[in-house]
Structure 1
């Protein structure tokens, strides 16, 4: 289960990531509560903040994948992490001094999203350079374990600290936490890395990435499925905030508990994924359907204790989809295309949030958070079926087009 930790560079990366991830989840919790405090509990405003954080990936995510293929990944990661630390520091100062307004949160969320366009595909593709293809699925699952361990600890700690100190110090603590991951990157043994050869600048590299995904059925189905699921999965923390504060009238500490219960399930799902050699397409589909159904169940849960319990299998299902799709895509991709393919994958993985988050917020304002969450789950179930159908239809058409092109080229050669 933990075999990738035997590798020195990955061990450093994982330790730094745990600290930084805890800080990140503390900030995410503080950001959600800050928006609700500044707007009087507006679900629509919370949806806008979430959408702004993910919108840059929708607009520029593929270009980030191109940069990940063109340049050495470790320097890119150090630069991106340093810029994120500066943003957290600025937001902390504004909040502590009482000068913060909701538009400040919107600007910070958008700027964080811009940096993530480069940081996320670079970080995802850097893993294989540390551990190699054999241990890649295990390392991806352990990354998810670290992320979700932080999701357990971060919101719970943030809830207690916000109750005692307010939201401002949380941003400042997150700014400090970036020192851990930056240090881990700088202390790595360069000779033990296996970097991919940088791809020279050339025209049509984005189009080449799209064609590569369309021609490969092992890539197309996971990418489409993640696109439909992530539209509402990426904003599920917003759903938790709305359910906890607006439906069950829970305070900051109880909201942190709800986020942690979801993360407990996600952590369990990640540890289960670490034991798998290679995920299957059936596992992907089953995980997506389960996530949608459990999301519906959380939306109609009548009591807060039952809601908390349902968050655990919801987290297991979601992380099963995420780890399986990530590993499937990277294993099916050649080294020189990995950055661009992961840029496309992350485009659909995070790019759905600008659509899903405002929709959930609008539905929650219109018919209550229960209706918003339950309808989102129903759309996940429908989207899973549509993703499987589209992957077959598109794949069949691409194969027919390639056969036609080969026939034409053969006729021209024969003539």
Structure 2
């Protein structure tokens, strides 16, 4: 195996040597793409009904993961992960079909959207840890970090393609078609998952305190605890680009929607480069975490000090962010197999919780100290985190 992945290119694409991972990717890319087309369609519908309600709809989709995440992680350890993921994908497909039917019959009101958004959030809370825990089963252990990186690449490609697809489908055919296409994509993913030929997942019998044991395992294991702390510290202070980027583009650069889109594209392009770099590096290390965190700090600092170079700074920050995120995922996926579902649920809860905090924090900072303040805070926090981690033995 070492000779098969002895170069960066071979390391990056080693997971594709696995038939199971290739099949998994075939199902995932259309599903992610169509899910982001649904995001565009749902946003358009909600904004047309009541722009203020959009924040509540987003919250209904995210809050279940914050509340139920650890328990859903325990489910991923109790049941076969492929079967659980198939059930979750089928559930998300049913919710998408519900959106499609309601939109086609002119019954997609805010109360209906609220119910469907909450249902989506609950099912997604099961989907996330099951998916993250299943990925290492699809490849040999030495290729697991590259598999995490390629999964991140699929996510970014799907987001980009899905935003474009939604932008084409909704104006041309209406939101109902976008929702219906997404429902069909989940059906395809379930069929693909059913064809995977992999061993059964490690299964932990039902017992008391399993959620508490999972949290305690993460805290007692430095190889797991440190990446989680780094992620929480950096994400809480930097992952606010949906708020901070439009603010600095408007206030410092005098740009409109086109400039905001271009700035976010610069961040996404840097992130895509980062996923490829992370895949090529192979097995993660503390040094990778330190360097990635420092790169995030450098990008944030460039934007905060030189707003005229914001696009370059955002690309640098995006590169560092994706490498950091993939490195954290790869490190956590080395947890004990019988704990992996619960460990990955901690990752999901920490990332989502930090995201929920970072947006309002950036908005408040921008209001009281100017548009560059969120970027300067993020630079300081990321630099301190990198320095502290570099100094640990």
* Range of TM-score over shorter length: 0.7 to 0.9
1:284 aligns with 2:289: yes
1:317 aligns with 2:324: no
Corresponding residue of 2:352? 350
Corresponding residue of 2:14? 3
Per-residue CA distance 1:116-153 (angstroms, 9 max, x = gap): 22111111111121213211001111111111111222
Moved more, 336-345 or 259-268: 259-268
Contact 2:149 2:326 (8 Å CA) reproduced: yes
1:330 aligns with 2:333: yes
Provide the rounded CA distance (Å) in 2 between the counterparts of 1:163 and 1:118: 32
Aligned positions of 1:235-274 closer than 5 A: 236-237=241-242, 248-250=255-257, 259-274=264-279
Moved more, 47-56 or 7-16: 47-56
Provide the rounded CA distance (Å) in 2 between the counterparts of 1:269 and 1:233: 17
Change (3 A) 1:86 1:380: farther
Corresponding residue of 1:400? none
Deviation at 1:248, TM superposition (A): 3.6
Change (3 A) 1:61 1:235: farther
Per-residue CA distance 1:365-401 (angstroms, 9 max, x = gap): x579x73xx4443443454467679989xx99xxxxx
Corresponding residue of 2:218? 213
Corresponding residue of 1:138? 146
- SS across alignment from 1:286: helix
Change (3 A) 1:258 1:171: farther
Deviation at 1:215, TM superposition (A): 1.9
Corresponding residue of 1:377? 375
Deviation at 1:69, TM superposition (A): 0.6
- SS across alignment from 1:170: helix
Contact 1:234 1:350 (8 Å CA) reproduced: no
1:68 aligns with 2:73: no
Deviation at 1:70, TM superposition (A): 0.4
Contact 2:271 2:315 (8 Å CA) reproduced: yes
Per-residue CA distance 1:13-47 (angstroms, 9 max, x = gap): 0111111111122222333444444434x5xx544
Corresponding residue of 1:109? 117
Deviation at 1:97, TM superposition (A): 4.6
Contact 2:244 2:374 (8 Å CA) reproduced: no
Provide the rounded CA distance (Å) in 1 between the counterparts of 2:91 and 2:257: 34
Deviation at 1:321, TM superposition (A): 1.2
1:181 aligns with 2:210: no
Unaligned runs of 5+ residues in structure 1 are 397-415
- SS across alignment from 1:115: helix
Corresponding residue of 2:204? 199
Corresponding residue of 1:412? none
Provide the rounded CA distance (Å) in 2 between the counterparts of 1:39 and 1:386: 41
| Count of residues in correspondence between the two structures | 380
Deviation at 1:220, TM superposition (A): 1.0
TM-score, with length taken from structure 2: 0.82
Deviation at 1:242, TM superposition (A): 7.3
Change (3 A) 1:92 1:201: same
Change (3 A) 1:245 1:68: farther
Unaligned runs of 5+ residues in structure 2 are 1-11
TM-score, with length taken from structure 1: 0.78
Change (3 A) 1:86 1:163: same
Change (3 A) 1:275 1:162: same
Provide the rounded CA distance (Å) in 2 between the counterparts of 1:278 and 1:248: 41
Deviation at 1:164, TM superposition (A): 3.5
Change (3 A) 1:137 1:55: same
Change (3 A) 1:297 1:267: same
Change (3 A) 1:248 1:95: farther
Provide the rounded CA distance (Å) in 2 between the counterparts of 1:389 and 1:128: 31
